[in-house]
A = this chain, B = another copy of it.
Amino acid sequence: MIKLELDRKKRSLSVKEPADVSSLQNGFYGQMKKGIIYLAPEEALYIMDIRNGRCFDEVGNEYSFNSVAALFLKIKKLLARYLTYKDYRDKGLILRDAKEAEGGYGRTVLKKYAGGSFKFDSFAFEGLFFPQDLLTLVDDEKVGKELYERYWIGQFGTYKAAHRGRISKLDVYETIFLLKHGGLHLTNAKLHDVEKTARKRIKFFDDMYLVYEDWRRRGYVVKTGFKFGTHFRIYFPGASPVRAEDEWMHSRHVIHNFPRKHKLLISEWARAIRVAHSVKKTFILAIPGKKAAIKVDPKKPRLDFLLYHRRKDGIETPKDGTPRYLMYSLTEDEYIGGEGLAEALAEARHYGLEMMMAISDRESSVTYYIIKEIELPGSEYEYYEIEWLQP
Binds B, one of A4-12, A92-100, A224-232, A298-306: A224-232
CB–CB B165/A331 < 8 A: no
- Residue A20, interface by CB 8 Å: no
- Checking B77, B203, B226, B362 against A223 with a beta-carbon cut-off of 8 angstroms, the contacting residue is B362
Quick one: which of A162-193 are within 8 Å of B by CB? 164-167, 169, 171-173, 187-188
CB–CB B202/A265 < 8 A: yes
- Residue A142, interface by CB 8 Å: no
Against B, the Cβ 8 Å flags (1 = close, 0 = not) of A193-219 are 000000001110000000000000000
- Checking B65, B69, B155, B279 against A278 with a beta-carbon cut-off of 8 angstroms, the contacting residue is B279
**How many subunits of this chain does the assembly comprise?**
2
Q: Write the nearest CB–CB distance from A387 to chain B, whole angstroms.
A: 17
CB–CB B332/A224 < 8 A: yes
Secondary structure at chain A's binding surface: helix, strand, loop or mixed?
Answer: mixed
The residues of B that contact A343 with a CB separation of less than 8 Å are: none
Closest residue of chain B to A272 (Cβ to Cβ) is B271
- Residue A50, interface by CB 8 Å: yes
Given contacts A70-B187, A79-B137, A226-B359, 19 further A-B contacts (CB under 8 A): A49-B167, A50-B165, A66-B128, A66-B137, A69-B130, A73-B130, A79-B135, A90-B161, A90-B164, A134-B331, A159-B365, A169-B364, A172-B362, A201-B333, A202-B333, A226-B267, A227-B274, A227-B361, A229-B271
